[in-house]
Chain A
Amino acid sequence: MTSGVFLVLSAFLASAVEGIEALTIVLASGVARGWRSSLTGVAAALVVLAAIVAALGPALTVIPLNALRVVVGGLLLTFGLQWLRKAILRASGFKATKDEDAAYAKEVAEAKTAEHVERGGVDWYGFTLSFKGVLLEGLEVAFIVLTFGSAQGSIPLAALGAGAAILLVAGVGFAVRAPLARVSENTIKFAVGVLLTTFGIFWSTEGAGGSWPGSDAAIFGVLAFVLAVSFGLVAVLKRRRREMLVTAGARA
Chain B
Amino acid sequence: MKYVVAFGKFWWNFIVGDDWVAAVMIIAAIGITALVAAGGIASWWVMPLAVLLVLVVSLRRATASG
Contacts and interface: CB of A to CB of B under 8 A. Distances in A.
A79 interface: yes
24 contacts: A70-B34, A77-B26, A78-B17, A78-B22, A82-B19, A89-B63, A94-B62, A94-B66, A136-B10, A139-B14, A140-B14, A201-B48, A201-B51, A204-B29, A204-B30, A204-B47, A208-B30, A209-B34, A209-B43, A210-B36, A211-B44, A213-B44, A225-B48, A229-B51
Q: Chain B at the A interface: mostly helix, strand, loop or mixed? A: helix
Nearest to A136: B10
Interface of B: 10, 14-19, 22-23, 26-27, 29-31, 33-34, 36-38, 42-44, 46-48, 51-52, 54-56, 58-59, 62-63, 66
A3 B10 CA distance: 30
A82 B59 CA distance: 10
A237 B63 CA distance: 9
Contact of A209 (B23, B26, B37, B55): B37
Contacts of B63: 89, 94, 237, 240
Q: Chain A at the B interface: mostly helix, strand, loop or mixed? A: helix
